[in-house]
Amino acid sequence: MSASTHQSGFQTTIDIARRQTHNVAPVAGQKRSSEEMSGPVAKQMVVGRNNNPDPLLESTPFESARNLPVNRFTASRLHLGAGASEAQNEDRQRALAPPSSQNPLLFLANPKYGLPPPLTANFAALGVTSIYPWQASCLLAKGLLSGERHLVYTAPTGGGKSLVADVLLLKRIIENPGRKALLVLPYVALVQEKLKWMRRIVQDVEKHVHDEDDSELPRWRRKRQQKNIRVTGFFGGSRTTATWADTDIAVCTIEKANSLINTAIEECSIGDLGVVVLDELHMLDDENRGYLLELMVTKLLLLQQDIQIIGMSATLSNTEMLAEWMKAKFFISTYRPIPIDEYMVYENGIYPAATSRQLFQTASKLTAAASLHDTIPPHRIIEPSSFKQLGNSATNAMVALAVETASAGFGSLVFCGSRQACQIHAATIGEAMPPPGQEELNKRLDLLAELRSLSCGLDPALEVTIAKGTGFHSKYPVFKLVMFTSLTIAPDAGMTTEERELIAQAYDQGVIKVLVATCSLAAGVNLPARRVIINGARMGRDLVGPAMLRQMCGRAGRKGKDDAGETYLICGKADMQAVCDLLDADMPAIESCLAPEKRGLKRYVLCSHLVAQSADPPRRALLEAIATGLVSGCEAIKEYVQCTLLYRSLDKKLAYSIMNSALQELVDEELLILQDDESYQATPLGQAVVASAFSPEDGLFVHEELKRALKAFVMDGDMHIFYMFTPLQAALNTPIDWQIFRDQLDKLDESGLRALLFVGVQPGFVNKMVLSGASLKETDPNQMKQARIYRRAYTAFQLRDLSNEVPISTIATRYNIPRGTIQTLAQQCHGFAAGIVKFCQRMNWGMLAAVLDHMRDRLEAGARADLLEMAQVTFVKSWTARLLRENGFKNLRALAEAEPKDLIPILKMANPRKAHKIDLYPSESERYTAKLKEKAEIMIAHANKIWGM
């Protein structure tokens, strides 16, 4: 192939990489030469069972790779087509050419940026010493570094957007030690990733504080509290005890950020806020959560405080309009440091994506007897496969492209439309992958051992794919149609958080060569690839939009990881026209989600209840503004409406009409009262809804159920509390297996059954559903309310099991649902439970709040009451707490008085497979023991701190 490639001049980045004589830092793993594949390394790959030093090999799927059959399952070969040319390679060489000169403004250490040496040193340690010209132009624009102007900007994925925001945020915090920062991201995974990055960046960086500012404090306390930059994460499932007062930089999800701003406004501490960074600003257009971003910006604009707002995204089309709304400077960059070659794959032919329209027009005119390849010569051709599994041309192309990338030593991301497809495609690609070398084999075995040691156990499908160098990755939000909200974001939670983190890390390190993921991974963590393969541009049944397609393609090639990138969009005949339209489509304009029709109701109306739901965003917008004391009178409310994106998106009279209707509804629902002076005030119920961060719709439902609980709370058991703490959104997406529901009801004690009867669950109805095999009807409000109750009760069984230390894998099997769904429930219930407790406190239901608060601690610990105290300690989860108790450390005091060396054997018991694996290697065992000793010391110190309180 290389010889013919050289003659014709057409070269892919894989071809170029194969002939490089210098070392390249690939996206995933180090390149193995063809000599290694046929020499000693290949011989090591067929080590016999008797020569295997690792007992874990005895039961792994590598057994099939040791004695390869002659006609083993293989990927199809790719060869040149008649459409190859030299132009592409010449363009690539020009793109990869180094800059001819160095501008001093392209270095972060330049005095113009005013960054302290420790900060620039931290950036340099993470590989960031210089910046791109567009970043310099943006940062040096008038008023940005000084914090006087807001900023809205857009740049391609991988183009360095985050660095601009990081510099502006950190400069603001360092130079204004009394101010705080909010860094807002849409997903928990992004928050966790950014949290780690920020903590590394600010290490040893101090704010500009004069010691005399707080001379009354002791010097040691003054230095620690004021000079060091504290970074805290706020997101669902977080166990942090830090508050707004305890942090300088809050990295948080959209919901948490909105709640923090509401609290700061209500407590008159919003002046402490100095800068707000809104990453993924295109989420303004999200039908489920976008309005929360709009509310945040609207409140900050109305306040007119000295708070700098920075918004960024890779997928904005109306940047200038958004900048006008936010009274900000706008900046648009099209620069991408790593060039990307884009291709379309159709019927085993590979064509430049730019010619897709011509390709479609030609293909649609051809008769069955004509050949498309003869009419429009492809640049490359994928040979048809004789294997049944590869009979479909799309699957054949996906496998061939992925295996070719892996064989060259690089990583590829394969996107497909569902979690089930991820597993199937990962297994198919894995069957065709080249056999691993001994070093790769050992690393994969280590990964399998780590996955087995997780409390949820090892997914059998993952065990097979990882062994062959492929993995699948699913979690990030996909759109699912449900009955209570028109189009809601629900996690595709097939995998647990720990599994996803280990898989992503293994891919990044080259242990796994191919990662197959749902389309929405593109909006998740930063996982770049040399080659991105999109196997059909659909997410479920629906075609992805231009923004999602750009996100997926943007994963190809990343500065510092690779020097090139390629994307391949595999298209079938049925989708050809739609895909061509997609490739030609402009990015959609961002619009306000406060408008009722923006929430997808025109296409997804299921019943009249959804029409009522459409008014929830404007109702929430006004309720939050009034409840926090931001506005009250009609003129102030009018000014507030004028600060919304809605006011710029719609006719002004229509915007006022929407808000006036929302005001009247809030009064009718007794969330607001209209006073004699024609101003509005939140009722205690309205205050409680806002304080608990519920939407008006959810707040009213919770209020109704809590009022009933006040009359007759079932206190002689836990089932009533588990029901109350079951998150509403988690229950909405829960499919009910009625046979399992009946089995769980039959096992309840008298107290548990009485609790469920009280909330509205009827055993006779459950039995009827089992016998009839029917589904819940949800065609009117009463039926929908009944469905919500039964779904919550069914989910409450799972929550009960979690708090009783039943393993996640056991719960998943018991209810026939993915393990990741159970873990997501555990994470969601923490924030929901906190909201319920706060709701009760605001309603002055003190006794009920106290009861629920105790159970909330149990939920967060994931442990029974006897382990609750122990589970507060750092690194101690329910399983570790149980092991400590069973091995002599009965309570917190015993742990506080322990010696670190006494805890090491117990910590090894908590991860037996990893301990066994490391014990085989003395040097590794010594390091592992030292690490566990350090961990034990931290646990004992924290136990002492809690015990001494």
What is the CATH code of the structural domain delimited by 596-682?
1.10.10.10
Calculate mean pLDDT across residues 848-863: 71
pLDDT digits (tens, 9 = 90+) for 515-525: 998 876 666 56
What does the DSSP assignment read for 353-384? GGGHHHHHHHHHH--TTS-HHHHS--SEEEPP
Closest CA to 796 of 766, 763, 835, 755: 755
| C-alpha to C-alpha distance for 307 and 284, rounded to whole angstroms | 20
Q: How is residue 849 written in tokens?
A: 């709040």
**Encoding tokens for residue 335?**
């620069």
Look-up: residue for tokens 């790593």? 338
Convert 381-439 into a string of H (helix), E (strand) and C (coil).
EECCCCCHHHCCHHHHHHHHHHHHHHHCCCCEEEEECCHHHHHHHHHHHHHHCCCCCHH
Q: Decide if 176 contacts 122 (C-beta within 8 A).
A: no
More confident site: 788 or 238:
788
Q: Classify residue 948 by burial, with Cβ atoms within 10 Å: 0-12, 13-18, 19+.
A: exposed
Q: Among 233-247, 319-333, 767-781, which is the least confidently predicted range? A: 233-247
Q: For residue 821, is pLDDT > 90?
A: no
Q: Residue 128 above 80 pLDDT? A: yes
The pLDDT value given to residue 609 = 35
What confidence category does residue 839 fall into, taking pLDDT thresholds of 50, 70 and 90? very high
Q: Which CATH number fits domain 696-862: 1.10.1760.20, 3.30.160.20, 3.40.50.150, 1.10.3380.20?
A: 1.10.3380.20
For 12-30, give one letter per residue: b (16+ CB within 10 A) or e: bbbbbbbeeeeebebbbbe
pLDDT, tens digit, 9 for 90 and up, residues 714-765: 888 889 989 998 988 877 777 899 999 999 999 999 999 999 999 999 999 9
Q: Read off the pLDDT band of 352 (50, 70, 90).
A: confident
Predicted confidence (pLDDT) per residue in 19-78, tens digit = 554 343 333 333 333 333 333 323 333 323 333 333 323 333 333 444 445 467 888 888
The residue among 492, 491, 470 whose CA lies nearest residue 406 is: 470
pLDDT in tens, 643-663: 999 998 888 899 999 999 999
Q: What is the DSSP letter of 692?
A: T
d(C-alpha 281, C-alpha 279), whole Å: 5
What pLDDT, on the 0 to 100 scale, is given for residue 923? 61
Specify whether the CB–CB gap between 383 and 78 falls below 8 A: yes
Higher pLDDT, 196 or 236: 196
Q: Which of 93, 100, 91, 280 is nearest to 185 (CA)?
A: 280
> Cα–Cα distance between 276 and 270 in angstroms, integer?
12
- CA dist 759 and 827 (Å) reads 24
The reported pLDDT for the residue numbered 572 is 83
Q: What share of the chain in percent tops pLDDT 70?
A: 78
- Partners of residue 134 on adjacent β-strands: none
Q: Is the pLDDT of residue 367 over 70?
A: no
Which element (helix H / strand E) includes 682?
Answer: strand 680-682
pLDDT grade, residue 561 (50/70/90)?
confident
pLDDT digits (tens, 9 = 90+) for 283-341: 998 888 899 999 999 999 999 999 999 999 988 888 999 999 999 999 999 898 888 88
User: Contact at 8 Å (CB) between 108 and 129?
Assistant: yes
Angle between helices 750-759 and 781-803 (to 10 degrees): 150
Contact 333, 182 (CB under 8 A): no
DSSP 8-state symbol, 556: B
Q: What is the mean pLDDT of the chain?
A: 79
Q: How far apart are CA 457 and CA 499, in angstroms?
A: 10
Name which of 120-129, 385-394, 919-928 the model is least confident about.
919-928
330 - beta bridge partners? 152
**Arithmetic mean of pLDDT, 248-266:** 94
Average pLDDT value for residue range 352-374: 71
CA-nearest of 366, 282, 329, 258 to 630 is: 258
Amino acid at the residue 943: A
* Confidence category of residue 200, pLDDT binned at 50, 70, 90: very high
- What is the Cα–Cα distance from 385 to 336, expressed in whole angstroms? 37
795 Cα distance to chain centroid: 23
CB 791 within 8 A of CB 701: no
| Segment among 456-470, 628-642, 855-869 with least mean pLDDT | 855-869
Please answer whether residues 471 and 465 qualify as being in contact, where contact means their C-beta atoms are separated by less than 8 angstroms: yes
Domains of the chain, by residue range, sit at 1-31+73-107+344-433+468-590, 133-332, 596-682, 696-862, 872-947
Please check the confidence at residue 941 and state whether its pLDDT lies above 90.
no
Residue with tokens 């926090």: 628
Q: What is the pLDDT of residues 480-497, one digit of tens each?
A: 322 222 222 233 346 777
Say if residues 837 and 853 touch (Cβ distance below 8 Å): yes
Instruction: Give the residue from 569, 618, 576, 562 showing the smallest Cα distance to 593.
Output: 618
pLDDT of residue 483: 26
What number is the average pLDDT over the span 103-107? 90
CB of 164 within 8 A of CB of 138? yes
Q: What are phi and psi of 490, to 5 degrees?
A: -130, 140
Query: Can you tell me the mean pLDDT for 498-523?
Result: 82
Question: In a 3-state reduction of DSSP, which class is residue 127?
Answer: coil
pLDDT digits (tens, 9 = 90+) for 12-21: 666 655 555 4
The predicted model gives 114-135 an average pLDDT of 93
**8 Å CB contact between 815 and 740:** yes
Give the span between the Cα atoms of 69 and 66, in whole angstroms.
Answer: 9
Amino acid at 775: S
Average pLDDT over residues 501-505: 85
Q: Name the pTM for this structure.
A: 0.80
Average pLDDT over every residue of 448-465: 80
The fold for domain 133-332 equals Rossmann fold (3.40.50)
* Contact yes or no for 302/637 (Cβ under 8 A): no
The segment with the largest mean pLDDT, out of 364-368, 561-565, 580-584, is 580-584
Two tokens at 139? 């940062």
Residue 344 near residue 352 (C-beta atoms within 8 A):
yes
418 DSSP assignment: S
For residue 391, how many other CB atoms are within 10 A of its CB?
Answer: 11
Do 577 and 360 form a contact (C-beta atoms < 8 A)? yes
Residue 641 confidence class, pLDDT cut points 50, 70, 90: very high
- At 30, the amino acid letter reads Q
- Give per-residue burial for 753-763: e unless 16+ CB within 10 Å, then b: bbbbebbbbee
1-31+73-107+344-433+468-590 shares its CATH topology with 596-682? no
Q: How confident is the model at residue 94 (pLDDT cuts 50, 70, 90)?
A: very low
CATH superfamily of the 1-31+73-107+344-433+468-590 domain: P-loop containing nucleotide triphosphate hydrolases (3.40.50.300)
Give CA–CA dist 139/160, Å, rounded. 12
pLDDT band (50, 70, 90) for residue 10: low
How many CB atoms are located within 10 Å of the residue 370 CB? 12
